[in-house]
Chain A
Amino acid sequence: NAGVTQTPKFRILKIGQSMTLQCAQDMNHNYMYWYRQDPGMGLKLIYYSVGAGITDKGEVPNGYNVSRSTTEDFPLRLELAAPSQTSVYFCASSPGDRSGNTIYFGEGSWLTVV
């Protein structure tokens, strides 16, 4: 199994541009998450989804949008990119929300906004 796959791995955007970070998982997990990690910091939750068609905001949702049309895919869209969105983005998935469930992370997408 591939697990959680993110694309692209690296991207440079100009201020005001838009882009979509792709995330796909092949484990049939209902729960999916997008986190961002700024240098030297822990991860912060941007958006999450508990199943196809259901999404909700996390801790730092401003400037981002998500959709969940299938169980497998959970793309993150950046509208009007700003330098403050320069960060590493991690997609993750989990079989459920039970506290004993493990969360599986992708390898990250490095985004620079100039």
Chain B
Amino acid sequence: DAKTTQPNSMESNEEEPVHLPCNHSTISGTDYIHWYRQLPSQGPEYVIHGLTSNVNNRMASLAIAEDRKSSTLILHRATLRDAAVYYCILRAAGGTSYGKLTFGQGTILTVHP
């Protein structure tokens, strides 16, 4: 599975935007970029995913570099509830991967009041 690289931790103040980077230089043409987050003592939760174009949903935005070797998850106004571990994951289509997610260590986001 292609690997991703994320900073170990980031900090933000409440109501400010947060940009969480992810490098994935070995991404293949059919890999989707997924972001999940894990709140304390909970299971991972889907945030957003994309292939080539930037994506927006009610939780966040995903900006994907033109060469697809990096992406950025954008939380437009961080709240205390956004404090979590954020995982950037490449998900391969079918084949021997069977759609499974391969987790790295993620980025611990701390949000200050």
User: Do A48 and B98 form a contact, CB below 8 Å, given A42-B87, A99-B32, A105-B43?
Assistant: yes
Contact A100 B106 (CB under 8 A): no
Is the CB of B65 closer than 8 A to any CB of chain A? no
Question: What sequence of 0s and 1s flags, for each residue 3-20 of chain B, a beta carbon within 8 Å of any chain A beta carbon?
Answer: 000000000000000000
Q: How far is the CB of B45 from chain A (nearest CB, A)?
A: 7
- Report which of A31, A42, A97 forms a contact with B106, defined as CB distance below 8 A: A42
Is the CB of A77 closer than 8 A to any CB of chain B? no
Residues of B within 8 A of A41 (CB): 105
The CA-CA distance from A97 to B94 in the complex, in Å, is 5
Residue on B with the closest CB to A41? Answer: B105
Contact B100 A45 (CB under 8 A): yes
Residue on B with the closest CB to A105? Answer: B43
Is the CB of B92 closer than 8 A to any CB of chain A? yes
- Report which of A42, A94, A100 forms a contact with B103, defined as CB distance below 8 A: A42
User: Do A90 and B43 form a contact, CB below 8 Å, given A33-B100, A42-B103, A45-B100?
Assistant: yes
Interface residues of A in 5-48 (CB under 8 A from B): 31, 33, 35, 40-45, 48
Residues of B within 8 A of A75 (CB): none
6 pairs from A and B in contact (CB 8 Å cutoff): A90-B44, A94-B99, A97-B98, A100-B51, A103-B99, A108-B41
A residues in contact (CB < 8 Å) with B: 4, 31, 33, 35, 40-45, 48, 50, 56, 58, 90, 92, 94, 96-108
Give the 10 A-B CB pairs with smallest separation, nearest first: A97-B99, A105-B43, A42-B103, A99-B93, A99-B32, A43-B103, A99-B91, A97-B94, A102-B46, A105-B44
Add 5 more A-B contacts to A31-B99, A105-B44, A108-B42 (CB < 8 A). Answer: A44-B103, A45-B102, A97-B94, A97-B98, A103-B36
